[in-house]
Copies of this chain bind each other. A is one copy, B any other.
């Protein structure tokens, strides 16, 4: 494994590294960690990497890795830069024959997303998109409950992702995380909706298997001088007739990472909170509320995907890193099957891919269009 991005002070790159490392099946051996070559080197040292494989930039990395014998060369690259770099890096590595794991949102805009889809299909390489919340075992359980018909036809979906860290103009205090996320040139046209609204969208579609069909969006910039939305509220209509609400916010003061979803079917309701990820609430009329707890046999009996995504017995909590690692596990097992020319475990194919990335960019495109429109509903094209 190699990495582009994730230099000193970066949050998500470090998470990728810990997640990839968790199960012992993936080794980080190369990287271009920062746009500043000095910082890239520094990070390489901190990671005990061979200095020869710590590069000044991604292009150098690509060239030099290509010159290594195939057995020494990295198998895949993780792209964890700001959004505007995702596309060129992913494209170039794919074209050179590497598999790619890409941080979300997949690209800077919809056009790039569609182009990347073509490139992935053509390359026949494995492409993973880090929608990490789909790595939680209880999220996979929920997905399997819905797909097995346990909750009946889905009628209503509420999904939210409120945070508070951008409630003030943090980007003007030198905070690197805030600065690129609020800069249209690095983030794209959507701020809060791109950064976390896209997680909410992905979670809703992943669990229910439904597609958003129409959106009515109300985006706001609350912090003066900011150029991208820091709050958004959307009404949703899904392709099966379900209705819903999606809201995300970076000014919901006092909230940390309160991603949560409520799904109501004709027979049962489901509820999951990412800050308490080991529990799935299952509601059925005239029955006690059920709290399904990760790591139990009854969970595995319902969802092999949940069991596969579990490392500890029930009651020993698992959390964010493990969910992240579960995406890497499936991604790496799929690559491993390619390398060994074996058939991958069906369950290993369960990780977000380029199609999810296109959905995400379509979602943002539609949200932005709706936000500017006086019409109630804006169709989300496919």
Residues in A lying within 8 Å of B, measured CB to CB: 11, 14-15, 17-18, 21-25, 47-48, 155-156, 158, 160, 162-165, 167, 216, 218, 220, 222, 231, 233, 235, 237, 243-245, 247, 249, 251-258, 262, 264-269, 274-278, 282-293, 295-298, 311-322, 373-377
Q: Are B243 and A220 in contact (CB under 8 A)?
A: yes
Q: Are B255 and A235 in contact (CB under 8 A)?
A: no
Query: Closest CB of chain B to A158's CB: distance in Å?
Result: 7
**Bound: A303/B160 CA distance, A:** 31
**Bound: A237/B374 CA distance, A:** 14
Find chain B residues with CB under 8 A from A244 CB: 233
A320 touches which of B17, B296, B298, B317 (Cβ 8 Å): B317
A233 touches which of B24, B243, B258 (Cβ 8 Å): B243
Counting every copy of the chain, the complex holds: 4
Find chain B residues with CB under 8 A from A268 CB: 253-254
Find chain B residues with CB under 8 A from A375 CB: 374-376
Query: Closest CB of chain B to A105's CB: distance in Å?
Result: 18
Find chain B residues with CB under 8 A from A17 CB: 24
Query: Closest CB of chain B to A274's CB: distance in Å?
Result: 8
A267 touches which of B253, B311, B322 (Cβ 8 Å): B253
Assuming A258-B315, A312-B15, A375-B374, is B269 touching A156 (CB within 8 A)?
Answer: no
- 7 pairs of residues in contact across A and B, judged by CB atoms under 8 Å: A156-B231, A163-B315, A164-B283, A218-B376, A233-B235, A288-B290, A374-B376
Q: Are A216 and B243 in contact (CB under 8 A)?
A: no
A254 touches which of B247, B269, B316, B318 (Cβ 8 Å): B269
**Bound: A247/B296 CA distance, A:** 24
| Extra inter-chain contacts (17) besides given A251-B264, A318-B319, CB under 8 Å | A11-B313, A18-B22, A18-B23, A156-B252, A233-B245, A235-B235, A252-B269, A256-B293, A256-B295, A256-B316, A257-B313, A290-B290, A291-B291, A317-B320, A373-B376, A375-B376, A376-B376
